[in-house]
Amino acid sequence: MDFAQADALNQAIRLLSLRHRARAAALLTPLGLHPGQETLLLELARTGPMIQAQLSEALGCEPPSVTLMTRKLEASGHIRREAAPADKRASVVALTDRGRALVEEIKQLWCDLAEETVRGLPAATVEQIPGILNTMTGNVDGRRRR
């Protein structure tokens, strides 16, 4: 790959990432959420209660980031944290009823954002995008190299 192609690819990825995060932030603000918090709530809705360390791994976030998010989401009443039965040092995180209700709004927002992002692309291309992006993410995932 020559520099011009590499530059075009890297710039496109960077701009999409920045614009997508900014658009997500704008859509999440009326719900009282910041980017990243919605993925934590969606993960808990998918999996059920889990230990904070497992949540960190599932989200691909550093543990201090998850700790900060869980504190804020607990303060807003969307999740609860309790000591893990087997290890009192670990916290189990679970959705509250308020959190479950918010997840339904997040799901609609997530659908709207995805549709907005791929507007104008052929359906066959849209079907391929998650696989392509997951491969690309795996290629640059520094955690794989540890």
Residue 144 pLDDT greater than 70, yes or no: no
Give residue-wise pLDDT tens across range 19-53.
Answer: 999 999 999 999 999 999 999 999 999 999 999 99
pLDDT at 86: 81
Burial class (CB in 10 A: 0-12, 13-18, 19+), 34: middle
Q: Which stretches of the chain are DSSP H helices?
A: 3-28, 37-47, 52-59, 63-75, 97-118, 123-140
Instruction: Return the ∠ at Cα 64 (arms to 16 and 142), rounded to 5°.
Output: 50
Residue 137 pLDDT greater than 80, yes or no: yes
HEC string of 80-106 equals EEEECCCCCCCEEEEECHHHHHHHHHH
pLDDT at 146: 47
Residue type at 81 in one-letter notation: R
CATH architecture entry for 18-119? Orthogonal Bundle (1.10)
Q: What are phi and psi of 66, to 5 degrees?
A: -70, -40
How many other CB atoms are found less than 10 A from the CB of residue 123? Answer: 8
Residue 145 pLDDT greater than 60, yes or no: no
Q: Where are the domains of the chain?
A: 18-119
pLDDT at 105: 95
Whether the pTM exceeds 0.75: the reply is yes
Give residue-wise pLDDT tens across range 70-126.
Answer: 999 999 999 999 988 888 788 899 999 999 999 999 999 999 999 999 999 999 999
